[in-house]
Structure 1
Amino acid sequence: MAQIDPSNRGLRLAVRYAVLVLIAVIFIFPLVFMVVSSFKPDQQLLSDTGSLRAFLPVGDISFDNYAAAFQRAPVRLFIFNSVLVTAVTVVLSLLVCSLAAFAFVFLEWRGSGVLLSIILATLIVPFETIAIPLLLMVNQLPWIGFDGLSFGWLNSYRVQILPFVADGLTIFLFVQYFRDLPRELIEASRVEGASWWMIYRRIVMPLAGPVLATAAILKFLVMYNQYLWPLMVVQEETYRPVMVGLQYFFQLNRAWGEIMAYLSLITLPVLAFYFVLQRAFISSIASTGVKG
């Protein structure tokens, strides 16, 4: 067997890491520009855009833009609303879609293939085509709350959460992952007398760490960046998410420094969620590999 030259192998590895670092730098430049610009006054921010100074914290640096952003809009409230809506939707979506995928893959029932095909067909339907019918429907739906029975879901958290709990993409991800699991585990569990709920909870889901992290990240990005639907169904400031709150900074006196400060603040939950899920994704892959 021919031996690989260690010098050639080291060169290829160095080139590979150099390309990866270059790609990472290209993707991180907009974030660096956003954060650095958030500390500069508007005049300096605009003058620095034509040079590398746009990516360097030089000149008149201060936290004035952040203070002005909190004065112009209820930033804390908007971030809280988006994080709450997104977190609840992600948790419910993972539960509902994983249960649906489990039923499609492991349970035998008539019409499952046709229903799964219909669900997957919804992936080609843009949300804009169903936005108006969905708006008319949620405006008439009943809800039982602490103050009794009421009709209409507008201006609430539920109208931003419940319509997006189940979606075709998340179900598809779980179905594809569950199909790759060894059927011997399921059959052996059934022979031992385990119920379907026990198989789902104790066997399938502990092995589903990678797809859980992937689906959670995709769902988080979609929900956190929601703009059109909250703009249609939320008129009260109490329930507005961060993307709708961005309108506050384009009214009257437009200040680009404040806009950059606001964007930096609303990006923090996204980065934190991504890094947490990334670590969970890596650890779940490692633990799955050890168990297998």
Structure 2
Amino acid sequence: MNGRPILPMIATYLVLLAVTLVFFGPVLFMLVGSLKPDELVLAEAASWRGWVPESVSLENYRSVFERVPFGSYLASSLVINGTIVGLGLVVNAFAGYALARLQWWGREAMLAVVLAILVIPFEAIAIPLFYQLSALGWRDDHLVQAIPFVANPLAIYLFYSFFLGLPKALEEAARIDGAGVFRTFVAIVIPNSRAAFASVAIVTFLFHWGIYLWPLLMTTSESVRPLPLGIATFYTLPPLAWGDILAFGVLMVLPVLVVFVVFQRWFVAGVAATGIKG
């Protein structure tokens, strides 16, 4: 094989296969358990039957829709994540372009602030932000679950890195033709940055789909609860049915898998285009 040793290559593929099984194993167990009668989910967990169902049934999925308003949870998650992704693309793209191309006082300091904020987890500021918004009387709706995540330092940095790599000649030609900064950005930069926009959109969607702490703090009404909070509530409903819980988990993960599989090519191209370096 082109002069490459066969044994090291086989060993590499075996290690990669083992790692894949470790990560895919819980997903497979969740899928198989959701198709089995509830009394067999834990009873067969320690045997090979835990991974291969003897019979397939959709009863657990029907039970999920009967016991909780799953459609409301899904709609809330789609609204919240759609707002985060949609507004985030606009806000973060403008911020990244301003840092990469425009000359203004304090630009280097602002870039340093953006990079510094990257290392601060949201959980560290969640409680102060909760008290601040509660004092303003802003709670228990979809927007309050989305707005704090619109401006994202990682997304700003990804856009910044990509815009640095764009040829300046295109923008200079537009300026010579009389285009201003905004028109240049919309007519020249955005059409040549589809890969970056796709990458940021997918990363943002995948990350925020499973956010739990913030909606737990900010919501009390079931009508605005997203899926992560819905499955936590569902877990506490008697009787405790593991088949139903696993079915809920599958339904929650399915949109993420669909988004990643459908847009995988754009995601890989976008990550490469944004110039992420170790």
Question: Aligned pair 1:41/2:43, yes or no?
Answer: no
CA displacement at 1:86 relative to structure 2 = 0.4
1:158 corresponds to which letter in structure 2?
Answer: L
CA displacement at 1:244 relative to structure 2 = 0.7
- Where in structure 2 are the equivalents of 1:205-216 lying within 5 Å? 205-216=190-201
1:54 corresponds to which letter in structure 2?
Answer: G
Question: Aligned pair 1:160/2:160, yes or no?
Answer: no
Give the 3 Å change call, closer, same or farther, for CA 281–222 of structure 1 in structure 2: closer
Give the 3 Å change call, closer, same or farther, for CA 284–230 of structure 1 in structure 2: closer
**Residue matched to 2:104:** 109
SS at match of 1:56: coil
Question: Aligned pair 1:266/2:252, yes or no?
Answer: yes
Question: Aligned pair 1:280/2:266, yes or no?
Answer: yes
Give the 3 Å change call, closer, same or farther, for CA 207–11 of structure 1 in structure 2: farther
Q: In 2, are the aligned partners of 1:72 and 1:248 still within 8 Å (CA)?
A: no
Corresponding residue to 2:165 among 171, 180, 186: 180
Provide Cα deviations, 1:146-166, integer angstroms capped at 9, x if missing partner: xxxxxx221111101111110
SS at match of 2:40: helix
**Residue matched to 1:77:** 72
Q: In 2, are the aligned partners of 1:97 and 1:170 still within 8 Å (CA)?
A: yes
Give the 3 Å change call, closer, same or farther, for CA 129–18 of structure 1 in structure 2: closer
**Residue matched to 2:243:** 257
Whole-angstrom distance in 2 between the partners of 1:210 and 1:93: 16
**Residue matched to 1:119:** 114
Q: In 2, are the aligned partners of 1:90 and 1:165 still within 8 Å (CA)?
A: yes
Whole-angstrom distance in 2 between the partners of 1:22 and 1:132: 40
Question: Aligned pair 1:55/2:34, yes or no?
Answer: no
Give the 3 Å change call, closer, same or farther, for CA 283–229 of structure 1 in structure 2: closer
What TM-score do you get using the length of structure 2 for normalisation?
A: 0.87
Question: Aligned pair 1:228/2:213, yes or no?
Answer: yes
Give the 3 Å change call, closer, same or farther, for CA 10–194 of structure 1 in structure 2: farther
**Residue matched to 2:204:** 219
Whole-angstrom distance in 2 between the partners of 1:41 and 1:88: 38
Provide Cα deviations, 1:188-216, integer angstroms capped at 9, x if missing partner: 22223222122212222222233222222
- What are structure 1's unaligned runs of at least 5 residues? 142-151, 287-292
Cα RMSD after superposing both structures = 2.6
CA displacement at 1:17 relative to structure 2 = 6.1
Q: In 2, are the aligned partners of 1:209 and 1:285 still within 8 Å (CA)?
A: no
2:263 corresponds to which letter in structure 1?
Answer: L
**Residue matched to 2:86:** 91
Whole-angstrom distance in 2 between the partners of 1:38 and 1:70: 14
SS at match of 1:48: coil
1:266 corresponds to which letter in structure 2?
Answer: M
- What are structure 2's unaligned runs of at least 5 residues? 273-278
CA displacement at 1:92 relative to structure 2 = 0.7
Percentage of identical aligned residues: 37
Whole-angstrom distance in 1 between the partners of 2:271 and 2:220: 43
Provide Cα deviations, 1:201-235, integer angstroms capped at 9, x if missing partner: 22222222332222222211222111111011110
Q: Which moved more, 1:106-115 or 1:196-205?
A: 196-205
